[in-house]
Amino acid sequence: MVQLIKYSIIRKIKNFNIIFWPCIFPLIMGTLFYFGFGNMSESDFETVQAGYVEEGAGNPVFSQYLEEIEKGGILIHVETMTETEAKKQLKERQLDGIFFGADTPYLQVAKSGMAQSVMQSLLESYLNGKNTLETVAEIHPENMEQAVAAMSDYKEIVENVSLGGKSTNNNSVFFYALVGMACLYGCFVGMGSAFWLQANVTDLAARQCVSPVHRMTMILTEMLTSFFIHFLNVVILLLYLRYVLRMEFQESMAQMLLISLVGCIVGVSMGVFVSSASKLSENMKVAIMLGISMTGSTLAGLMNSKIKFAVDQNMPIINKLNPAALITDAFYCINVYDDPERMKTNLITLLIMAVVLTAGSFLVVRRVRYDSI
C-alpha cells in the first residue's frame, strides 16, 4: 500500500488541474483581494477637502484647532474662503464640506460619506473640548498643539469589537470565504481520484482495475492521498495569507487548520461522489462541481459580504447546508464571535456531509466490476 500511496502522490502532483485550481488559483485570488481591499485600513485615503468661512467676529480658537489638525497628519486640507465661493465649490463637489467659524462652529455638507464623517468627528471633538481649548489658547497658547493632538486621537478611543471582545474587520469575510472556496476546490482532486478508479475513463485506470489489488485498498489509497495533497494546498494558502500578506487572524493556527482539514475532507468527498455517481462527460462533471463550489462560496460572502448576512437572515437553512458557509462561519466563531459551541456544530455538520458523500462513493464504486483479461 505504501508503494500505491507513493505513486498516487507522484501522479497527482503532475496533474495541472490538481495543482493549479486547488492551490495556485486561491493564492492568486487572495493576492488580488489583498491589493483590492485587504489592506484598506492601512492605505492612504483621499485627502478631505474642507472650506472654512468666518462668520461675524470669527472663532480664532476653532481656526487654530483646524490648523493644528491639518498639521497633525490627519488627511484634511482646510482652505479659508468667502461664504459665496465656499458654497459654489461645495455645489460643484470641489469641497467635501464647509466649516463655519461662528461662536459655536457648525458644518455644512452636500452629501454623506467617509469625508463628511471625518469632518463631523473633528467638529464634535472640538465642541466636546471647547472650554479646554479656549483655556489653553488663553493661558498656554504654546501647548495648543498638544491639546489638539490629545483631543483628536479618537481612533484609539473607539474600536470595532464583537461581543466576544475581539476586533472585527468587515473585509475578513472575503478571506474566510476564500479559504472555504479553496477547501471545496478539493472536488477537483477527488475527481482525479474517481477517474483513476473507473476503467471506462482512462487506459491507466483500466490497467489498475484489472490488477489483483483489492478494490478497498485502491479506494483507501486514492482517498488518503487526495486528502493529504489538498490539505497541503490549503495549509499553503493559510500560511500565505498570514505570514506573507500579513492578514490578522486572531486565534491560533491550530484551530484554523482543524477547520480547514474538515473542509478539505468535504471538498474531496464531493468530487469523488459526483465523479463516481454520474455517467456524464468529464466536462459536465467539472461544470457541476465548479457550479456547486462557486455558488456555495458566493453565498458564503466571497463576492460580497452582504450576501452571506442576507442569506443568514432571510433563508438561514441554505447556509446551514452550504459547506462553504459552514467553513466561513467556523472561522468567524474562533476569530470574531468567540463561540466554540457553534464552531463544533459547524464541524460536526461538515463531517456528517463528508461521511455521507464518502459512503455513497464507496457503494457506487464497490458494485462496479471489470473482467480480467
C-alpha cell at 295: 455558488
The angle subtended at Cα 201 by Cα 198 and Cα 205, nearest 5°, is 55
- Name all domains of the chain by residue range, CATH numbers in brackets: 8-39+164-366 (no CATH), 44-156 (3.40.190)
pLDDT at residue 226, as a whole number: 93
* pLDDT tier, 265 (very low <50, low <70, confident <90, very high otherwise): very high
- For residue 263, the number of C-alpha atoms closer than 13 Å in the C-beta half-sphere is 37
The C-alpha cell 495648543 sits at 144
| 27-41, 166-180, 314-328: range with highest mean pLDDT | 314-328
Give the number of other Cβ atoms within 10 Å of residue 329's Cβ: 27
3 state DSSP class of 99: strand
Per-residue pLDDT tens for 148-192? Answer: 665 554 444 344 454 454 545 567 778 899 999 999 999 999 988
Whole-number pLDDT of residue 206? 61
What's the mean pLDDT in 50-77?
A: 83
Give yes or no for a contact between 189 and 268, defined as CB atoms under 8 angstroms apart: yes
Nearest-5° Cα angle at 334, 328 to 340: 105
Where is average pLDDT lowest: 15-29, 239-253, 303-317, 345-359? 239-253
Which long-range contacts link 321-324 to residues 24+ away (Cβ below 8 Å)? 322/296, 323/180, 323/183, 323/184, 323/263, 323/266, 323/267, 323/270, 323/296, 323/350, 323/353, 324/177, 324/180, 324/181, 324/183, 324/184, 324/293, 324/296, 324/297, 324/299, 324/300
| Contact (Cβ atoms closer than 8 angstroms) between residue 251 and residue 335 | yes
**Residues contacting residue 238 through CB under 8 Å, at least 6 positions apart:** 179, 253, 256, 257, 260
Counts for the chain of helices (H) and strands (E), in that order: 18, 4
Q: Mean of the pLDDT values across residues 46-52?
A: 87
Q: Which residue has the higher pLDDT, 76 or 249?
A: 76
Between these two residues, 30 and 205, which has the higher pLDDT value? 30
Cα–Cα distance between 330 and 353 in angstroms, integer? 15
Q: Is the pLDDT of residue 40 over 70?
A: no
Could you tell me which residues are beta bridge partners of residue 78?
50
* Best-predicted range by mean pLDDT (125-129, 337-341, 344-348): 344-348
Query: Residue 43: pLDDT band by 50, 70, 90 thresholds?
Result: very low
Range of weakest confidence among 63-67, 174-178, 235-239, 270-274: 63-67
367, three cell numbers: 458494485
- The mean pLDDT value for 249-256 works out to 77
Return the DSSP state at 280: S
Higher-pLDDT residue of 336 and 107 is 107
**335 vs 354, more confident:** 354
pLDDT digits (tens, 9 = 90+) for 107-148: 999 888 778 888 888 888 788 777 777 777 777 776 666 666
Could you tell me which residues come within 8 angstroms of residue 252 by beta carbon, excluding any fewer than 6 positions away?
none
DSSP per-residue letters across 8-69: HHHHHHT-HHHHIIIIIHHHHHHHHHIIIIITGGGS-PPPEEEEEEE-TT--HHHHHHHHHH
Mean confidence (pLDDT) of the chain: 82
CA distance 103 to 155: 27
Check residue 235 and give its pLDDT: 95
Q: Which stretch of 90-104, 140-154, 191-205, 279-293 has the lowest confidence by average pLDDT?
A: 140-154
